[in-house]
Structure 1
Amino acid sequence: MLLSHGGEPLPATESVARWTVEQVLSLAPDDASRKAGNKLAAAGHWSGTGFDGSGAVWGLCKGSGSKPYQTVVDTTGPAYKCSCPSRKFPCKHALGLLLLRASGDGAVHQGEPADWAEQWLTARRGRAEAKQEAAASGEAADPVDGAAARKRAERRAERVTSGALELEQRLTDLLRGGLATADRAGYTLWEETAARMVDAQAPGLAGRVRELGAIPGSGPGWPVRLLEECGLLHLLDTAWLGRERLPEPLASTVRTRVGLPLSAEGPPVRDRWLVLAQYDMADGRLTSRRIWLYGRESGRTALLLSFGAAGRAPEPALPVGVTIDAELTPYPGGGLRADLGRRFTMPAASVRPDAPGAPDAPAPVPGTPPPGGSTAAALAAYGEALRGDPWLDAWPVTVRDVIPVPSDGGWQLADAKGESALPLSSAALSRPGLWKLVALSGGGPVTVFGEVGHRGFDPFAAWGVGAGCGGRSGAASAPGDAADGIVRLI
């Protein structure tokens, strides 16, 4: 059984639906790839294109050499294969091919995969099936020596403890000298301290130390902000040093915050998971990908977190708005992070009924947003989450019946009843997605999913008219707000 964008069953005979342009572009690793992919989304660049009912799309793209690039995409992963030398996933050729397919102009015809595409698809799906069978039977691919692993963990814990004690001494020296003079030392001292935490194998502590170094140059009021962050860092240090006395969920959170690796554990949760947001963050050395999911039946929100080397997009990549029937295994602690496990159906996207070449089938039910509340309820949810993780920067929430309005040089989401409001974060104000939110609202109430924290609210997705969120009739539409309901803002 396949699932529509909104999680409703599709007819058993229906092939995997064509992704929308917005969903394809959400997979691009960066803006440059989006622009390059758009340039290749024309039939003149391609030959031998095709797609089948199992979610495969393939084609040959003209390149600078004599041989065209062989590009194939398995949208059930999604996964990509291209003979070009690019290290980006998906590359511009995969994006161009998917955009050409999304246009529905008849340039990509249904048929049997080319031999070179069939070989890759068969091998890939064979590996996926073998992995699922092994997971179902409880087999371990690489048995680990438990005793040796425990010894390595103990040695690392000792190094982290040494680093935490050293960091406590440096914080004490900083307070003795006075926070107001911290800007005179420059950033070198902070970088040296961060390097010591890296040597202690505590990357989480190192990252927080680097953030401290940037505060003295952050503008008026920086001593207060520096004191607040020093207090949180001191709290993390003392929590690590006394972790044996903490309840297990909080102890797991502390281990995560200092940078120790944890594995997903516990019983997997099967559900129909709606992809709410996907975005990448890069720090020059590492690219992290965050994917937010909402379980239609369990009502749970989950975070998929993956990492890749600088310049390479992490896996998996899930288009915003698709629904997948899959198992998620949660991580220990009070957070929402989980690992994506076995998938039971292909991820299905909605098809715009007015698109050229759309199949003669009933239009999918628009994706409805997760249940939400007021802006005051969103702040209360963040406050409750801080009880389990005092170092939490933000918490995922859905706010309903809010209107984006300008405020003091910025923007805020105000309750339609005018009872309270959430200021948008500086990150949200600097992104082009803000105009989509304003256009979708048209002065009327909308539903918005995002993260709320001490820096404000960061919107990731929104629903307007026809998505069951009380949007104003006749409100201006934004790209992506036709049949699929959800509008991607990041």
Structure 2
Amino acid sequence: MWTREAVLAVSPDSGSVAAATKLSTARSWSAEGADEHAVWGLCAGSGGNPYQTVVDLDGPAYRCSCPSRKFPCKHALALLLRWSAGQVPAAERPDSTTTWLESRTARTPRSTGTVPDPEAAARRSARRAERVSAGLAELDVWLADQVRTGLAAAARSGYSYGAATAARMVDAQAPGLASALRRLPGTVVSGDGWTGRLLEELALLRLLVAAHARLEDLPGPEAATVRAHVGYPVRAEDVLATPGVRDQWAVTGVRDVLADNLTARRVWLRGDATGRPALVLTFTPSGTAPDTSLPVGTVLDADLHFHPGTPALRAVVGTRHGEPRPLTRLSPCSAARAVAEFGRAVAADPWTRHWPVVVSDVVPVAHDEEVSLVGADGTLPVHPGGADVWRMLAVSGGFPVTVTGELGARGLRPTGVLGTGALVGL
């Protein structure tokens, strides 16, 4: 299964991404299906007949009855977006799809390995690297211009700040950088001190550009971290091929983030025996139900396979050894230890924005519209938005509780609170 990032990587331009996202809803498609080699479907068009779309996953290769000259067209991209989100059912392949796949096999014999054609894969990888490097060179010039001309233009641009450069990063097949640029307007309008925060974001982007230029000199894990932040795709099957980490994984929080007409669901887990945090990330089109297979407040006995990088955080769930059961306890962790965990994560990956933590024996305290978690070894500020802090205060009732959440530079964004009963999601 491809990730959404892998789908975006094959897009010919940003306009195709926008058009495909609009077409990735269920009402646009009929007669969908997929197997291990192909995905197919009928997409409603402006005429009376739907467009017949097929993607050969082993190529990849694309066929569509639409008149578009782009390759792949928006219909193929939309179909891949739906398939990567798990919204295309397994089905028996229609004869027309089989005929086309067989004609391709006759021209280019299909390999049975994980990489159907190593030489073709190497050529695609080289072309992508060239496109990404060219895009990052343009980004480097833009970053230098921001420092040379000052940040006053950012205030005048408002929510359009960096938009054109973000679109260029999509064209350059660097979706991670595009997402980082789209976050900049939020920093511009973040209130007092925004110039310092914006300069910090620009500096981190410059650091990423410099690190990418030295990819070949970096150790494997560090290089994988840089590639992940730039937006290079990693196939789920490659991750699942790595050794799994079996543990009793507690689902400590779920948070949905809307972006580009998609819902990114972040599911945070923590291993009971290993104490290791993990992130399971899924994408679904806006307006459709997100993945609910990992409900907050449960424990799952499973093997997790981690994406490459340092620190390794994002994971794919492999073999499940039973059904989820209610979460009633979490291994204790002090506020000081949580802050130290976040510090180590940032030291290993300076682009880390938040880190999943568990903070035990803290009392939520509200004062002057601000909330803090007060414990024996210190106080943690609660992030000013994004969580139901009043529910957390109600569960606590003034007594110590265990709080789970995402710790970042501006404080802890709670995702769950555990009192005397079960973990309550926030």
TM-score by length of 1: 0.60
The aligned residue for residue 398 of structure 1 is 358
Correspondence 1:367 to 2:328: yes
Instruction: Work out whether 1:282 is the aligned partner of 2:258.
Output: yes
Is 2:124 aligned against 1:152?
yes
Rounded Cα–Cα distance in structure 1 between residues aligned with 2:129 and 2:184: 24
Give yes or no for contact 1:205–1:259 (8 Å, CA) kept in 2: yes
1:189 and 1:461 mapped to 2: Cα distance? 34
Q: Deviations over 1:105-142 (max 9, x none)?
A: xxxxxxxxxxxxxxx9xxxxxxxxxxxxxxxxxxx797
CA distance in 1, matches of 2:338, 2:246: 26
How many angstroms does 1:487 deviate by?
1.8
Give unmatched runs, 5+ long, in structure 1.
Answer: 1-88, 90-119, 121-139, 351-365, 466-480
State yes or no: 1:271 paired with 2:247: yes
Structure 2 match to 1:436: 391
Distance, in Å, in 2 between the alignment partners of 1:165 and 1:278 is 36
Maintained 8 Å contact 1:294/1:370:
no
1:427 aligns with 2:404: no
Distance 2:191 2:301 in 1: 47
Give, in angstroms, the shift of residue 325 of structure 1. 2.0
Aligned match of 1:447 in 402, 405, 408?
A: 402
The amino acid of 2:265's aligned partner reads: R
> Which residue number in structure 2 is paired with residue 295 of structure 1?
271
Helix, strand or coil for the counterpart of 1:261?
coil
Q: Residue 399 of structure 1 contacts residue 449 of structure 1 at CA under 8 Å; is this kept in 2?
A: yes
Q: Does 1:224 align with 2:224?
A: no
3-state SS of paired residue (1:325):
strand
Q: Say if 2:300 is the partner of 1:324.
A: yes
Q: Which amino acid aligns with 2:419?
A: G
Question: What aligned pairs does 1:458-469 form with structure 2 within 5 A after superposition?
Answer: 458-465=413-420
The size of the alignment, in residue pairs, is 315
Cα deviation, 1:202-251, whole Å, max 9, x if unaligned, reads 11111122222343333232221211111111011111111111121111
Secondary structure (helix, strand or coil) at the match of 1:369 reads coil
2:338–2:358 Cα contact (<8 Å) kept: yes
The separation in 1 between residues aligned to 2:185 and 2:224, in whole angstroms, is 27
Residue in 2 that maps onto 1:338: 315
Query: AA paired with 1:173?
Result: D
Partners of 1:382 and 1:249 in 2: CA distance: 18
Question: Does the Cα contact within 8 Å between 1:271 and 1:296 map onto a contact in 2?
Answer: yes
Percent identity over paired residues: 45
Q: Residues 243-292 of structure 1, C-alpha deviation per residue, up to 9 Å, x if partnerless? A: 11112111111100011112425211122222222232211422111112
1:73-111 deviation digits (Å, cap 9, x = unpaired): xxxxxxxxxxxxxxxx9xxxxxxxxxxxxxxxxxxxxxx
- The AA in structure 2 aligned to 1:379 is V
| Higher mean C-alpha displacement, 143-152 vs 394-403 | 143-152
The structure in which a higher percent of residues are strand is 2
2:115–2:121 contact (8 Å) kept in structure 1: no
Rg bigger for which structure?
Answer: 1
- The AA in structure 2 aligned to 1:391 is W
1:447 to 1:188, Cα distance in 2 relative to 1, 3 A: closer
Q: Which residue of 2 aligns with 1:249?
A: 221
Give the unaligned 5+ runs of structure 2.
1-84, 90-111
Q: Give every structure 1 segment of 4 or more consecutive aligned residues whose post-TM-superposition deviation is greater than 6 Å.
A: none
CA-atom RMSD, angstroms?
A: 2.6
Distance of 2:324 and 2:162 partners within structure 1: 48
1:215 aligns with 2:191: no
TM-score by length of 2: 0.69
433-442 or 395-404, which deviates more: 433-442
What CA distance in whole angstroms lies between the structure 1 residues aligned with 2:160 and 2:425? 40
Measured in 2, the distance between the counterparts of 1:219 and 1:388 equals: 29
